[in-house]
Chains A and B, each alone.
Chain A
Amino acid sequence: MTESIRSLTAEKIEQARAEGRTAFIGYLPAGYPTIDDSIEAAVQLGNNGADIIEIGLPYSDPVMDGEVIQKATAEALQNGFRVADVFHIVKEVTSRTDAAVVIMTYWNLVDRMGVDEFSRRFAEAGGAGLVTPDLVPEEAGEWFEASDKYELDRIFLTAPSSPDERVKLTVDSSRGFVYAVSVMGITGARGEVSNAAERVVRRAHDAGAPRVCVGLGISEPHHVVEIGSYADGAIVGTALVSALRDNGPQAVGEITRNLVTGASKN
């Protein structure tokens, strides 16, 4: 990993480690159900134990997302969400919580605005980095340049199917942490964490990643406990989006408090 530039997500994960916790990362879509409610929900997330908040940009063709997140982001778009609204959301959330804020985005949205322009505005809003589910390092030339220029973290994904040389490429290309995809599939709550996850994390650690966090299918406190035994952070999305959908922003705070009980190693 590139360590010469300050990384906000690395600092948060290391702080959790120093406090004897597994870092907790929560995902919520921008603009769902409205811009204001998405800010409230993210603030609840940050003030109830999330170390890092991942704001998802609604996109017309989200190939890595399951039904719950697809429906939420489609609703945000129907409600008139525009990509540039995310900078306001990031600014509000960073000013009202201590969490580091990253954006999860399909690449065409960044490409359309211009990689430099998007990165500059995001950094100005206080953003920490991007999670890029359909951008592999081979296609990320412009993003390498912009993320160094604006000191943003590059969070690439590694998967159970990744061959060794690709794990190495992903680890070497990332800054902050590496996102370990726990299962061959798309986002969505699952009963158990895939038994492939531990191997994905170990391979990334072995390839030199100091921080590896696990996402996909994590929805229960005992999942977080399990992941804490081998990974540096747990990423929860669908469970939070369902809570927001059913019971509003306050419910996000409650479920976060419940989930982070699994993050304590004491």
Chain B
Amino acid sequence: MERPAPGSYEHDGDFQQLEGPYFGRYGGQWMPESLMAALQEVEETFRKAIKDPEFIAELNDLNTNYINRPSLLTEAPRFAQDHPGVRIFLKREDLNHTGSHKINNVIGQALLAKRMGKTRLIAETGAGQHGVATATAAALFGLECTVYMGEADTKRQALNVARMEMLGAEVKAVTIGARTLKDAINEALRDWVASVDTTHYLLGTVTGPAPFPEMVRYFHQVIGDEAREQSLEQTGKLPDAVIACVGGGSNAIGLFHGFLDDKNVQLYGMEAGGAGVETGKHAAPIALGRVGVLHGARTYLMQDEDGQTIDSHSISAGLDYPGVGPQHAFLHDTGRAIYQPVSDSEAMDAFKLLTRSEGIMPAIESSHALAGALRLAAKWVADGVVDETTPQDEQKVIIVNLSGRGDKDVSTAATWFGMVPEDHAEAGE
């Protein structure tokens, strides 16, 4: 398919009401027939559950008393100080149990798995955050758990492998293909085809076949709903822009959803630009602009002329995926959200700035969103939209989704900034 220009797709409807299986021409169920019955079961269970007050009460209780919701909205004035007239707020998903937004979706799907009578969870993981969250939910609910992880990732995230194993999960290293996240998804799908009677595939992002993009979004919508309310409380108005990093895009869609129908709130998704989109070493499928079908959904993909998936590259393992959620593809085409690549080095600069200016160490994934916020703030200042004389109630407000904490990234960051001796550099690879 040819690349459509941003904004080329007309959509006059209510964005918040979008359900699967299609988002415009994206999404769908490009799946083996063997899994179609299971997808149908997941969808029916999901639709019934979200209308069941008992399910909602259980989910709310776990959100409050296990995950630690609502997460804070923290202003970061020292981080924003070079951009007078711009206020930057952080949505603190890093303070959730297990350290990232991933737990929101995992708890929701694990409850559904129990409703379906499944006794085993399987999951894919790149950096290990989703794997750790899934292993955590399996421990909480007494379910078996197998996590697929590319061999390359098991080596660079050895501590997270140990964490999952301590939680009782079996971690299977995937030794075929590029040995990264996309291959872990392939292997999890192969497992699911053979184990679907007893097993729920707890997909970790808003990609995959319907109902996953809509269902995973649903469990993350709490991020945007809370942020909207907190913005009104703390600033007396809605934000001018909300910004999130986009790999598969689950934390971004969770934040965006609360603001989709607030036409004056700009939505920004920051893709992983790696070494730069022009180098080919990146994980920015929307910037690349090639539409195809991968892992069950029609969406933007990193693919070559033949349709073979191209290996993605990013310093952030969590963004290192060659596709993007179909709803993001749709929001791009409609122009409702703007997607831009952020390079490894811009992200790492933002990582350092937040750590030093606010004492908050962000995940490298979230650092892409922070870099996007600095870029937007700098543009407003350069364009003369705001300056040091702007009264507070007219200042621009940005909410950044701080989707995860940076503890897991310390060795990568130490290597990047040259803080470890050369012969220890492999620790961060």
Contacts and interface: CB of A to CB of B under 8 A. Distances in A.
Given A109-B306, A112-B303, A170 B33 contact: yes
Given A60-B308, A157-B33, A159-B34, A184 B194 contact: yes
Contacts of A163: 37, 40
For A67, A70, A108, A181, which residue has the most chain B Cβ atoms within 10 angstroms? A108
Cβ-closest 4 pairs across A and B: A112-B307, A159-B34, A185-B194, A60-B309
Contacts of A112: 292, 303, 305-307
Given A60-B308, A84-B306, A135-B30, 19 more contacts: A63-B189, A63-B295, A77-B308, A83-B306, A107-B30, A108-B294, A109-B307, A112-B303, A112-B305, A112-B307, A133-B32, A134-B293, A136-B30, A136-B31, A156-B33, A159-B33, A159-B36, A161-B35, A184-B196
Contact of A161 (B38, B305, B309): B38
B29 A139 contact: yes
9 contacts: A61-B177, A61-B309, A63-B32, A67-B176, A108-B303, A133-B32, A134-B30, A138-B28, A159-B33
A5 interface: no
B182 interface: yes
A136 B36 contact: yes
B186 interface: yes
Given A161-B37, A181-B34, A60 B177 contact: yes
A166 B33 contact: yes
Nearest to A159: B34
B190 interface: yes
Contacts of B189: 63
A82 interface: yes
B193 interface: yes
A84 B36 CA distance: 31
Interface of A: 59-64, 66-67, 70-71, 74, 77, 82-84, 107-113, 133-136, 138-139, 156-163, 166, 170, 181, 184-186
A216 to B, nearest CB: 10
B21 to A, nearest CB: 8
Contacts of B305: 112
A162 B33 contact: yes
Nearest to A65: B190
Interface residues on B, range: 35 or more
User: Interface on chain A toward B: helix, strand, loop, or mixed SS?
Assistant: loop
B190 A63 contact: yes
Contact of B33 (A63, A136, A185): A136
Contact of B32 (A60, A134, A170): A134
Contacts of B190: 63-64, 66, 186
A82 B194 CA distance: 31
A158 B33 contact: yes
Nearest to A181: B34
Contacts of B30: 107, 134-136, 139
Interface string B157-186: 000000000000000000011000011001
B193 A166 contact: no
A112 B291 CA distance: 8
Contacts of B37: 159, 161-163, 166
A113 B307 contact: yes
Nearest to B295: A61
Contact of B307 (A83, A136, A159): A83
Contacts of A63: 32, 186, 189-190, 193, 295
A74 B308 contact: no
A157 B193 CA distance: 14
Contacts of B31: 134, 136
Interface in B356-399: none
Contacts of A134: 30-32, 293
Contacts of B32: 63-64, 133-134, 157, 159
